[in-house]
Amino acid sequence: MFGGEIGKDGEHRFPVRVYFEDTDFSGNVYHAAYLKFFERARTEYLRAHGIHHAEMAKAGLAFAVREMTISYDKAAHIDDLLEVGTRMAEATAARFILEQTIRRGNEIVTHARVVAVLMNDKGRPVRLPQELRALLSGS
C-alpha cells in the first residue's frame, strides 16, 4: 500500500527506499534525510487515521513539531529498503507524542520521540478538539 498500513499491533508502517539524494559523500544516509523519512511517515500515519493536512488547513489549523529527540543507532545506505514505524505514545488536550522507529529488516537504524502541537492560522497553539484526540488515540 502506497501510504503504508496499520498493523494488528497498532503501529503504522511506511516503506522508504534510500535514494542517492538521501546520502552524503560517504554513501550513508545524511542525518537530515531521516527527518524527511519521519515526516512522510507521520503524514501517512495521520492520513491512515482520517486526518488530512489539506482539510485542516481549510479550517485554519496545522500540526507543528514542538520537540524531537533522535537517536542514530546504525547507518542506512543507498538502495536500502527501510520501514518507518509510527505509534501514538500519548495524546493530551494540548499535545501528542509519537514514537517513531526506522528499521532495515529487524535491525533498528534510527528512532525518534516527537512532540507535536496544533496551531491556528495565527501561529498560536490551540487545544486538540475532542474528535481529533479520539482519531489520534484510535478510539
Give per-residue pLDDT as tens, 29-58: 999 999 999 999 999 999 998 889 999 999
Please tell me which residue in 22, 24, 79, 80 is annotated as part of the active site: 24
Cell numbers at 53, concatenated: 493536512
**Least confident interval from 66-70, 94-98, 134-138:** 134-138
Question: Could you read off the pLDDT of 74-133 as tens digits, one per residue?
Answer: 999 999 999 999 999 998 888 999 999 999 999 999 999 999 999 999 999 999 888 888
pTM summary value: 0.91
Look up 79 and say whether it is catalytic. Answer: no
User: Residue 139 has what pLDDT?
Assistant: 47
Provide the strand spans (E) within the chain.
5-6, 12-17, 61-72, 81-91, 95-104, 107-120, 125-126
Q: Are 47 and 3 in contact (CB under 8 A)?
A: yes
